[in-house]
Amino acid sequence: MPMSSEAYLVLGNLYKSYDGEQNAVADVSLSVAKGEFVSFLGPSGSGKTTTLMMIAGFEQPSAGSIHLNGRRLDHIASYRRNIGIVFQNYALFPHMTIRRNIGFPLRMRKAPAGEIDRRVGRALEMVGLSAYGERRPRELSGGQQQRVALARALVFEPDILLLDEPLGALDKNLREHMQVEIKRIHRELGITTIYVTHDQSEAMTLSDRLVVFNQGRIEQVGDPLAVYRRPHSVFVAEFIGDCNRLNGKVRDRASGIVELEGCGPIRIPEAAGWSHGEDVQLVLRPEFVRPGKGGKDELSFSLAVEGVVHYGDTAVVIGRWGDKQIRMRALSYDAAGIEEGSTIAARAETANLWLLPQGG
């Protein structure tokens, strides 16, 4: 189902304080299109789950508004919002069969028995559990229980689906499998989805857009690759992936010369947009550093290797450029001849370098 370009869920200047003094959420504004998959990403305590709970109606905003499809929600009881939610702990009823667990929201809405049977059967088929309807939760694996929770959240055709760290209790293989399942179901149903996680790779895999939270505020919103490649702050750069940071000063904006502390002058075209003499930080992802001599439009430097960490398919080379530590992530065969104590030529395309203000 194609995604609409019009705003469907609108958060307007949301605040939440539990003690009247400190804000758990501060001035959060966001528009989500119908059919969009948006991930709230951030560390523990950043405000992402509190914002989700306000959308669900389990928390009341201290200030601000929530609109869904033009209808104001923040003064409506949670059970009247027609919102599906999936929690990390599944919250299944242990005494009920899987079929009755999934049908529970429909029974609460007093749907006819025939309609309940039809919808539950379709939901079981959607999550690949048609043969498990008469079992109880304890007879299923963690991944299967999570699918039941997802089916229960979708069976009554909610206006929006909220997922609060739903894969946190699963092991790596199951998590990756469920990511594929969630993406497939979203693609088939086209339901507007808000997904809370602290797992960067999970958010990158699933999302149409990322909303990065930090200390109760939205730090950056955007396409996952755009946020990764051009973070607006040091926090975003370091939270989403790994990065090398070097302090410097713009020496000649016309020619893009930046003087890096302990490394010397380098040319970065992006410096043309900064003021002469401005203090900056050069930011470079480890995977954009490559072994070998640089060519045109590449930064070239010598890297004194202090260690190599092998991960099988990739390796991280840790070394020094001048007096600054640099990490390089390369494919294993590219790093095969690199050893601790050696000095190698390294390079990075200037297109993959960017500048941030110092302390920003």
* Segment 120-145, tens digit of pLDDT: 999 999 999 999 999 999 999 988 99
Domain boundary assignment for the chain:
7-238, 242-357
In degrees and rounded to multiples of 5, residue 224 shows phi and psi of -55, -45
Collapsing DSSP to helix, strand or coil, 176 comes out as helix
Which pLDDT does position 3 carry in this prediction? Answer: 58
**203: number of Cβ within 10 Å:** 24
Helices (DSSP H) in 35-93: which residue ranges? 48-56
323 close to 329: Cβ distance less than 8 angstroms: no
- CA quadruple 49, 50, 52, 58: dihedral positive or negative? positive
Which pLDDT does position 5 carry in this prediction? Answer: 60
Tens digit of each residue's pLDDT (9 = 90 or more) over 60-106: 999 999 999 999 999 999 999 999 999 888 889 999 999 999 999 99
CA distance to 113, 158, 270, per residue, from 275 (Å): 70, 51, 11
Which pLDDT does position 4 carry in this prediction? Answer: 55
Which pLDDT does position 183 carry in this prediction? Answer: 92
Which pLDDT does position 1 carry in this prediction? Answer: 47
Which pLDDT does position 69 carry in this prediction? Answer: 94
- One of 3.30.1380.10, 3.40.50.300, 3.40.50.10280, 3.90.1140.10 is the CATH number of 7-238, namely 3.40.50.300
Full-model pTM: 0.88
Q: At what angle do helices 142-154 and 113-126 cross, to 10 degrees?
A: 130
Helices (DSSP H) in 109-168: which residue ranges? 113-126, 142-154
Which pLDDT does position 190 carry in this prediction? Answer: 94
Which pLDDT does position 340 carry in this prediction? Answer: 92
Which pLDDT does position 35 carry in this prediction? Answer: 96
Which pLDDT does position 159 carry in this prediction? Answer: 96
3-state secondary structure 289-318: CEECCCCCCEEEEEEEEEEEEECCCEEEEE
Residues of the chain with pLDDT under 70: 1-5, 360
DSSP secondary structure letters along 77-125: -GGGS-EEEE-TT----TTS-HHHHHHHHHHHTT--HHHHHHHHHHHHH
What is 242-357's CATH topology? Answer: OB fold (Dihydrolipoamide Acetyltransferase, E2P) (2.40.50)
Q: What is the mean pLDDT of the chain?
A: 91
Which pLDDT does position 178 carry in this prediction? Answer: 86
